[in-house]
């Protein structure tokens, strides 16, 4: 009977530690450790690539490209790729 009590209390301790002990340990670690604050440049904008995948989008591809070009993002940092996989309409010609 002693073995089953040990297993029960050990299992209960593990479950309680998961829900109560571990969050307390994490809280204490964050309060005791000192981290350096990093400053960020608000003007920095990374280069991005906007990928538009299209398949038979003849009716809306022009509007989508115009909408993407009107984004409020520096034009020299924005690259746009239109990928058309076997469209059998005028999607490629319009793009």
**DSSP letter string over 7-69?**
HHHHHHHHHHIIIIIHHHHHHHHHHHS--PPPP--TT----EEEEEEESS-TTTHHHHHHHHH
Residues of the chain with pLDDT under 70: 1
* Confidence (pLDDT) at 84: 87
* Confidence (pLDDT) at 2: 85
* Confidence (pLDDT) at 21: 93
Q: Is the pTM of this model over 0.75?
A: no
* Confidence (pLDDT) at 12: 95
The domain ranges of the chain are 1-34, 48-94
């Amino acid at each position: 009977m002693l073995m089953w009590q040990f297993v029960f209390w050990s299992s209960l301790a593990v479950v309680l530690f998961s829900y109560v002990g571990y969050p307390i340990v994490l809280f204490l670690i964050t309060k005791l450790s000192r981290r350096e604050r990093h400053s960020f440049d608000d003007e920095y904008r990374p280069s991005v690539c906007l990928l538009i995948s299209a398949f038979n989008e003849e009716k809306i591809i022009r509007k989508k490209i115009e909408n993407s070009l009107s984004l409020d993002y520096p034009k020299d940092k924005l690259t746009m790729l239109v990928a058309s996989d076997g469209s059998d309409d005028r999607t490629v010609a319009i793009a």
